[in-house]
Structure 1
Amino acid sequence: MSRSLAVLRSLVFFLWLAVTVVPFALAALALSIFRRGDPVYWVCITWLRWSIWGARVICGVRYRVQGMERLPVDRLTPVILCPKHQSTWETFAFPTLMTHPLCYVFKRELLYIPFFGWAIGRLDMIHIDRSKRNEAWGRVAEQGRRYMAKGNWVIMFPEGTRTPRGSQGVYKAGATRLAVDTGTPVVPIAVSSAKCWPRKSFVLTPGLIDVSIGRPIAAVGRQPDELMREVEAWIEAEMRRLDPEAY
């Protein structure tokens, strides 16, 4: 595909996002006046499904998932998901893939995005002020424990921010610290989304994104840093298998 055609298709895709987010966000806000929790969450997930559908139909971004059978099926069995972070794509896709509601840990600045931010502010999510690290961790620990008790799965990107294709960020132990404190298994996830939607790029290109879900790793009796090193080793080895051209 030519660069100009990819740009045009990406423009259409982002227009699709902008147009469709408004009615879904308003519906979520209206519903949240009367109901909170799962009903509002699934309204928002419907918009995310439309977004991933739009990426596939408009821009040719397809995906395949392996390892779903490794995740628990019981409604109240918690896990903490620790995915590789290369793109906006996985932040949109993971809630549509998982059987349990996801509780993202994210910077509070996202709440100020019109419609999108207003809607996620009504969900069971953990928004933190990164400038207040001790206060932020207390919020993650308290709310993470509470939401997991309801059956939600917490999702935290260990690298913190999106990384370029073929590179590796610094894996921080926040997710494994929460896992050790709560006795919750962690699930490493590799995702090759930068092949189609690189960080800081407006242009999506056609291709196939691979998502590989690892086996849950028990956290009881572990140290957060040591546990995160195991998560990091699995993810980075799996990334080299999924996207060898990038490495």
Structure 2
Amino acid sequence: MTQAKTSLFKLLIPGLRSVVFFIFQVTTLFIFAPLVLLSFPFSYNIRYAIASTWAKLVIKGLKVICKLDFQVTGLENIKGNGIIFCKHQSAWETFALQVMFPEQCWVLKKELLWIPLFGWALALTQPIAIDRSKKSKSFRQIIKQGSQRLQSGRWVVIFPEGTRTAPGERKKYMVGGALLAEKSGYPVIPVAHNAGEFWKKNAFIKHPGTIQVRIGKMIDSNAMSAKELNQQAENWIEGQMEEITNKSP
């Protein structure tokens, strides 16, 4: 095999693996989503356990099929429960957080619940589904429903930038999560990662490698205002991103 053909083959491998992974992901979704729907008469814990099993299976599939693994620093900082402020670069973290953290719910855009089968199953995991076009109403909803979820012992996952950002990018951190922390008294735990370098925003191809994840120390929400808390979490996350983001052109 010539060098040119070898190079072309190497370029094709991630694409072929991504096709296999896509088939795996869709097939397992059509198994687990109906199971979540059928578990409706049972407790929330059972529904969540089924849904999170699928998420963990997806992460395992990424490792086996696409050779995409991850490495975590700071697992010892996970204590009790609180509000997760996580960098949002790809779809990867929506699955991986369920591997790293105990029972949780997510603040997400309500349009996701309209997706047939997937969205219906997602709705049964009791997310905080907001209308992003109505900020004031969304903040009130996050505070009210988020406080209820926290009091029940769950973690609340918030992507403070509100949408996915490409590696090297940053957007304004919205204050909704910090307000929830201030009003509820629960701590914030910041999470940084570089998943977007391997599974890019809206991209089909998943590239092999090891995603770096850093989990910070919990930030006491009783010690500062929502604005100060938001700024401290942002400073920590973006500081970590500077260290783990690939700077090569």
Structure 1 length-normalised TM: 0.93
Contact 2:69 2:210 in 1 (8 A): yes
* Of 175, 180, 183, the match for 2:182: 180
Q: Give the equivalent residue in structure 2 for 1:19.
A: 27
Which position in structure 2 is the counterpart of 1:233?
235
CA 1:109 to 1:52, structure 2 compared with 1: closer, same or farther past 3 Å? same
Superposed counterparts of 1:1-247, under 5 Å: 2-32=10-40, 34-72=41-79, 77-98=80-101, 100-245=102-247
The DSSP-based 3-state class of the residue aligned with 2:95 is helix
Per the TM alignment, residue 208 of structure 1 is displaced from its structure 2 partner at its CA by: 0.5
Q: What is the distance in 1 between the residues matched to 2:220 and 2:65?
A: 41
Q: In structure 2, how many angstroms separate the alpha carbons of the residues matched to 1:212 and 1:148?
A: 23
Report the alpha carbon displacement of residue 246 of structure 1 after superposing the two structures with TM.
5.9
SS at match of 1:184: coil
Larger radius of gyration: 2
TM-score relative to the length of structure 2: 0.92
Return the alpha-carbon distance in structure 1 between the equivalents of residues 229 and 217 of structure 2: 14
Alpha-carbon distance in structure 2 between the residues aligned to 1:21 and 1:142 = 31
What CA deviation, in whole Å up to 9, does each residue of 1:206-225 have, x standing for no partner? 01001110000111142222
Unpaired segments ≥5 residues, structure 2: 1-8
Deviations 1:73-121 (A, max 9, x none): xxxx4310001111110011101221x2111000011112222111111
- Residue-pair matches, total: 241
* CA-CA distance at 1:239 after TM superposition: 1.3
Alpha-carbon separation, structure 1, partners of 2:66 and 2:146: 35
Aligned pair in 2 of structure 1 residues 15, 71: CA closer, same or farther (>3 Å)? same
Moved more, 43-52 or 3-12: 3-12
Distance 1:105 1:246 in 2: 33
Q: Which amino acid aligns with 1:10?
A: S
Name the CA shift for 1:214/1:114 in 2 (closer, same or farther; >3 Å): same
The alpha carbon displacement at 1:4 in A equals: 2.1
Instruction: Classify the secondary structure of the residue corresponding to 1:160.
Output: coil
- Tell me the distance in 1 between the aligned counterparts of 2:248 and 2:154: 34
Q: Structure 1: how far apart are the matches of 2:156 and 2:248?
A: 29
**Can you give the 5+ residue segments of structure 1 that lack an aligned partner in the other structure?**
none
1:56/1:62 contact within 8 Å kept: yes
State the secondary structure of the residue aligned to 2:43.
coil
- Please give the secondary structure, in 1, of the residue aligned with 2:212: strand
Which aligned runs of 4 or more in structure 1 are off by greater than 6 angstroms?
none
Change (3 A) 1:151 1:246: farther
Distance 1:36 1:187 in 2: 28
Residues 34-65 of structure 1 show CA distances to partners (whole Å, capped at 9, x for unaligned) of: 21311100100111111111111111101011
Letter in 2 for 1:78: N
